[in-house]
A and B are shown apart, each in its own frame.
Chain A
Amino acid sequence: MPLGLHEPDLALHVEDLTVSYQSKPVLWDIDFDIPPGVMAAIVGPNGAGKSTLIKSILGLTPPIAGHVTLFGRPYRVQRKRVGYVPQRSSVDWDFPTTALDVVTMGLYGQLGWLRRPGKAHRQRAREALEQVGMQDYANRQISQLSGGQQQRVFLARALIQQADIYFLDEPMAGVDAPTERAIVEILRGLRDAGKTVIVVHHDLQTVRTYFDWLLILNVRVVAQGPVEEIYTADNLRRAYGGQIALLENTGAGAPVIDATTAPSAQHKAREHSASERNTSEASTERRDTP
Chain B
Amino acid sequence: MSAYALLTDYTVQNVILGALMLGLVSGMLGSFAVLRKQSLLGDALSHAALPGICLGFLVAGARELGAIMLGALFAGAAAALLVLALTRYSRLKTDAALGIVLSTFFALGVVLLTYIQGTNNAAQGGLDAFLFGQAAATLRSDLVIMAGVTLLSLLLVIGLWKEFKLVCFDPGFARALGMPVLALEVTLTVMIALAVVVGLQIVGVVLMAAMVIAPAVAARQWCRRLETMVPLAALFGIVSGVSGALISTLGRGLATGPLIVISVSLIVIASLLFAPRRGLLWALVQRSRQRRRLRHQQLLTTLYRLAERHGDRDFQSEQGLLDSYHRTRTRAALSRLEKRGFVESRRQPPQNALHWTLTGAGHDEAARILDSFNARGD
Contacts and interface: CB of A to CB of B under 8 A. Distances in A.
B93 A108 contact: no
Given A59-B176, A108-B174, 8 more contacts: A58-B175, A59-B175, A79-B177, A86-B172, A90-B172, A97-B165, A113-B163, A141-B224
Interface in B150-176: 159, 161-163, 165-166, 168-170, 172-176
A134 interface: no
Given A90-B172, A95-B35, A79 B178 contact: yes
Shortest beta-carbon contacts, A-B, top 10:
A109-B177, A141-B224, A84-B176, A58-B176, A91-B170, A95-B169, A79-B178, A96-B229, A86-B172, A96-B226
B223 interface: yes
Contacts of A273: 172
Contact of B225 (A92, A101, A113, A157): A101
Contacts of B228: 96
A105 B176 CA distance: 12
20 contacts: A55-B172, A59-B175, A59-B176, A60-B172, A76-B178, A86-B176, A90-B172, A96-B35, A96-B220, A96-B225, A96-B229, A101-B226, A105-B165, A108-B162, A108-B163, A111-B162, A114-B159, A117-B162, A141-B224, A273-B172
A95 B168 contact: yes
A108 B170 contact: no
Contact of A105 (B35, B166, B229): B166
A110 to B, nearest CB: 9
A276 B173 contact: no
Interface string A85-99: 010001110011110
Given A97-B169, A101-B225, A276-B93, A108 B159 contact: no
A96 B224 contact: yes
B295 interface: no
Interface string B216-227: 000010011110
Q: Chain A, interface size: which category? A: 20 to 34
Report whether over half of chain A's contact residues are helix, strand or loop; otherwise say mixed. mixed
A143 B166 CA distance: 16
- Most chain B beta-carbon neighbours within 10 Å: one of A55, A95, A141, A277: A95
Contacts of B226: 95-97, 101
Interface of B: 35, 37, 93-94, 159, 161-163, 165-166, 168-170, 172-179, 220, 223-226, 228-229
Interface string A49-69: 000000100111000000000
Contacts of B175: 58-60
Contact of B169 (A82, A84, A105): A105
A116 interface: yes
A278 to B, nearest CB: 11
Contacts of A59: 175-176
Nearest to A141: B224
A36 B310 CA distance: 69
Contacts of A97: 165, 169, 224-226
- Most chain A beta-carbon neighbours within 10 Å: one of B35, B93, B159: B35
A273 B181 CA distance: 14
A102 B225 CA distance: 11
Contacts of A276: 37, 93-94
B173 A84 contact: yes
Contacts of B166: 105, 108
